[in-house]
């Protein structure tokens, strides 16, 4: 997979994912774009809370993923990140794209209609973390589900920018951990 393709997918997530929610809310709910993007709520406190929560939960997830049972579960995202040969700048870019694009689509759009639980379960399911064929994969879904539920609730209390910053922080900590692990593994194998 080329870097150009990876960056294209990141840009699609960042720019195209928000479009359906933004247009739907504007044309069918009469919401103006400033309200949709919660421009008035773009404040440091919710963003800092989100960053803090995302970082702390990512480290909790990393600790949980070190449990022996997870050795038997091939985590797709981990293999994909290692296979793409990402560096830290790539990880930052992709984390930012996912945090912004996915949170706008799911929190500002889908959650408005489907509520916290359905949106959170759907979010986990489309990422492939619930599997009937591979029940052990669902264990990772159970690790991530509380995080997604909390950022969904946080969206209602602190706003969109809390959710975006929490998602970004979670992704970047995991991404950097995987990139660092890959770098140290390749250095140790020389």
Q: Answer whether 102's CB lies under 8 Å from 17's CB.
A: yes
Angle at 143 between CA 141 and CA 148, to 5 degrees: 75
Task: Report the pLDDT value the prediction gives residue 33, as an integer from 0 to 100.
Answer: 94
Task: Report the pLDDT value the prediction gives residue 97, as an integer from 0 to 100.
Answer: 98
Task: Report the pLDDT value the prediction gives residue 74, as an integer from 0 to 100.
Answer: 67
Q: Answer whether 6's CB lies under 8 Å from 94's CB.
A: yes
CA-to-CA dists, residue 4 to 1, 8, 93, 134, 190, angstroms: 8, 6, 13, 32, 29
DSSP labels, 23-37: HHHHHHH---HHHHT
Task: Report the pLDDT value the prediction gives residue 189, as an integer from 0 to 100.
Answer: 47
Task: Report the pLDDT value the prediction gives residue 183, as an integer from 0 to 100.
Answer: 62
Output the tens digit of pLDDT for each of the chain's 190 residues. 688 999 999 999 999 999 999 999 999 999 999 999 999 999 999 999 999 999 999 999 999 988 898 887 766 667 777 778 889 999 999 999 999 999 999 999 999 999 999 999 999 999 888 888 877 788 889 999 999 999 999 999 999 999 999 999 999 999 999 999 866 655 444 4
DSSP labels, 42-96: --HHHHHHHHHHHHHHHHHHHHHHTSGGGGGS--HHHHHHHHTT--HHHHHHHHH
Give the three-class secondary structure for 185: helix
* The model's pTM: 0.92
Task: Report the pLDDT value the prediction gives residue 190, as an integer from 0 to 100.
Answer: 44
């Amino acid at each position: 997979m080329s870097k150009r393709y990876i960056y294209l997918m990141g840009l699609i997530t960042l720019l195209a994912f928000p479009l359906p929610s933004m247009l739907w809310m504007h044309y069918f709910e009469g919401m103006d774009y400033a309200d949709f993007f919660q421009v008035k709520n773009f404040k440091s406190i919710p963003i800092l809370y989100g960053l803090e929560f995302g970082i702390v939960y990512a480290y909790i997830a990393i600790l949980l993923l070190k449990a022996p049972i997870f050795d038997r579960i091939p985590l797709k995202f981990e293999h994909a990140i290692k296979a793409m040969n990402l560096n830290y700048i790539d990880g930052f870019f992709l984390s930012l794209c996912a945090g912004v694009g996915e949170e706008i689509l799911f929190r500002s759009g889908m959650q408005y209609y489907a509520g916290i639980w359905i949106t959170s379960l759907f979010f986990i399911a489309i990422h492939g973390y619930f599997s009937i064929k591979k029940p052990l994969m669902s264990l990772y879904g159970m690790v991530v589900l509380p995080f997604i539920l909390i950022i969904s609730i946080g969206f209602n209390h602190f706003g969109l920018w809390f959710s975006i910053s929490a998602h970004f922080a979670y992704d970047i900590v995991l991404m950097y951990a995987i990139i660092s692990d890959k770098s140290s593994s390749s250095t140790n194998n020389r």
